[in-house]
């Protein structure tokens, strides 16, 4: 996908300096490519009727960046709402992308004189309970992975087990090295390049041991010897491959992959720990690596059955006055 040097430098800055995940940077890159393609259409810099996905943006330079106004950004956001039918949440991400990029080229690199995204307002997003697998769906997914006839069965089961028991992010799991594990202690690198400790339960330890026995039989490329999870090519497994593995297992387990994804496994782990393990919210915050406890609070929702039982547990639930 053709980009331009300033955008490439921004993405490298996000990865190396801000410690953003590869997935986040990939999404930001996609958003910015869409914006600049739209800009070229809106300003008639490409022939009429040019297919959107074929528009070349490799010629974007400092001169053009200095011409971009707040109105250009607003027109793009209106187009996203009307033509692409994006929700407030999706538009909010695009706004975050634009604000981050233009802050970088204005304040960090001093490429532009004014920041056109400075006054952009993020749309209000209604709070929604996170989607998560039920306990039954979770055990079905684990059983599906455990009984898989695939050559990668032990690896895939270990991946699912760690996701569902530890609530890790995709980038955290992918980045695990063998020497990050010491007994039942696992050290992962999360958002902002911050390390945190995860304590492994017996299911995780058993899954890791089984996978390590299988891993020992594989031919691994020298540069990837430390990686815990290895692809069939002998390299560290990619984000895309992990997503494919989880999607395939979910489909086999009868789980709707249009609703559930890898990140929903993190939601699931958090919800199951809170709902069944009675984990204190502060401890849950530490487990998930949230900077603010307010982020963790989305997992403290209760479902309809809990509400129903709460009302039924009222000591007046079965009280009936006697007729006089």
- Do 45 and 55 form a contact (C-beta atoms < 8 A)? no
Buried b (16+ CB within 10 A) or exposed e, 195-212: ebebebeeebeebbebbe
Residue 236 annotated among the catalytic residues of the structure: no
Residue partners of 105: CB distance under 8 A and separation at least 6 = 6, 10, 65, 111, 112
167 near 273, Cβ under 8 Å?
yes
Q: What are the beta bridge partners of residue 161?
A: none
Does the annotation mark 131 as catalytic? no
To the query of whether residue 219 is one of the catalytic residues in this protein, the response is: no
- Known catalytic membership, residue 263: yes
Residue 266 catalytic? yes
Q: Which of 40, 266, 267, 275 is catalytic?
A: 266
- The values of phi and psi at residue 236, to 5°, are -55, 135
Active-site option among 26, 93, 131, 191: 191
Q: Which two three-digit tokens encode residue 27? A: 């999404």
CA distance 43 to 69: 12
Of 28, 157, 260, 299, which is the active-site residue? 299
The two tokens of residue 113 are 């004189």
Q: Is 233 a catalytic residue?
A: no
Nearest to 145 by CA among 164, 167, 130, 131: 164
Which residues make Cβ contacts (< 8 Å) with residue 250, sequence separation at least 6? 141, 256, 257, 260
Query: Which one of the listed residues 20, 169, 215, 275 is annotated catalytic?
Result: 169
The residues that are catalytic are 169, 191, 263, 266, 290, 299
């Amino acid at each position: 996908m053709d980009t331009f040097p300033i955008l490439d430098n921004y993405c490298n800055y996000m990865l190396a300096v801000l410690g953003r995940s590869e997935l986040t940077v990939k999404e930001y890159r996609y958003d910015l490519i869409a914006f600049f393609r739209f800009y070229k259409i809106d300003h008639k810099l490409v022939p009429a009727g040019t297919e959107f996905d074929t528009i070349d943006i490799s010629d974007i330079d400092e001169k053009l960046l200095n011409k971009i106004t707040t109105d250009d950004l607003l027109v793009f956001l209106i187009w996203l709402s009307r033509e692409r039918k994006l929700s407030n949440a999706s538009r909010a991400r695009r706004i975050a992308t634009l604000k981050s990029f233009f802050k970088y080229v204005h304040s960090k690199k001093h490429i532009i004189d004014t920041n056109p995204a400075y006054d952009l307002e993020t749309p209000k997003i209604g709070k929604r309970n996170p989607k998560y697998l039920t306990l039954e769906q979770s055990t079905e997914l684990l059983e599906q992975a455990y009984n898989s006839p695939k050559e990668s069965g032990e690896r895939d089961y270990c991946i699912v087990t760690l996701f569902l028991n530890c609530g890790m992010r995709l980038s955290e799991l992918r980045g695990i090295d063998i020497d990050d594990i010491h007994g039942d202690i696992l050290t992962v690198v999360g958002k902002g390049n911050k390390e945190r400790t995860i304590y492994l339960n017996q299911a995780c330890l058993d899954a890791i041991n089984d996978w390590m026995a299988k891993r020992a039989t594989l031919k691994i490329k020298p540069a990837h010897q430390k990686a815990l999870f290895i692809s069939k090519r002998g390299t560290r497994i990619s984000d895309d491959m992990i997503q494919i593995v989880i999607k395939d297992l979910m489909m086999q387990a009868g789980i709707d992959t249009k609703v559930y994804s890898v990140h929903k496994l993190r939601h699931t782990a958090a919800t199951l720990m809170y709902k069944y393990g009675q984990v204190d919210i502060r401890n849950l915050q530490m487990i998930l690596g949230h900077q603010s406890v307010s982020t963790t609070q989305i997992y403290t929702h209760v479902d309809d059955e809990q509400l129903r039982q709460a009302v039924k547990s009222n000591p007046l639930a079965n009280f009936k006055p006697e007729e006089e």
